[in-house]
Amino acid sequence: MQYRLGWDAPERRRAFAESRWASVPGAMLALVLERTLAQGSASGRCRLRIELDEFVHEFASPERSSTRIVLRAGLLPPRPGIALASREFTVEEPAPTPDARGGARAFRAGAQRLAVELSDWIVTLDRELHGGLNARGRCGA
């Protein structure tokens, strides 16, 4: 797990020396996204490209911290081509305790919020695009 200290070189990422993740952050986030998006009613053959830009625990002070997840999402047609839509998502979640365990709990909550926001974005795209996402030339046959 990486963290930043807001009062000491805030641009520098550091690693918790005695804490380990069960898996790499990107894989854990992918699992949450897959589970949430699988529950949706969207059908079609589009691909969702996710680029994880930031997954960090930030300490504003020794007593207060939060987590930050930043990703870019692109909805791509079934065949190679230009993205139908893209967007950057940022989620910040306060940590219940200012330590690695609190950061892990905040990351879990933030990942779930992010998954819901991503799902809502896809539903909104489907509603707003003339003919929806499954129109010919988009995600449909």
Per-residue confidence at 141, pLDDT binned at 50, 70, 90? low
C-alpha span between 106 and 104 (Å, rounded): 5
Q: How far apart are the first and last CA of the chain?
A: 42
Cα 140 from chain centroid?
A: 26
pTM above 0.85, yes or no: no
> Which pLDDT does position 43 carry in this prediction?
57
- Nearest-10 crossing angle of helices 100-128, 25-38: 40
Domains and CATH numbers, the chain: 2-128 (3.40.50.10610)
pLDDT digits (tens, 9 = 90+) for 28-55: 888 998 888 887 655 567 888 999 999 9
> Which pLDDT does position 112 carry in this prediction?
94
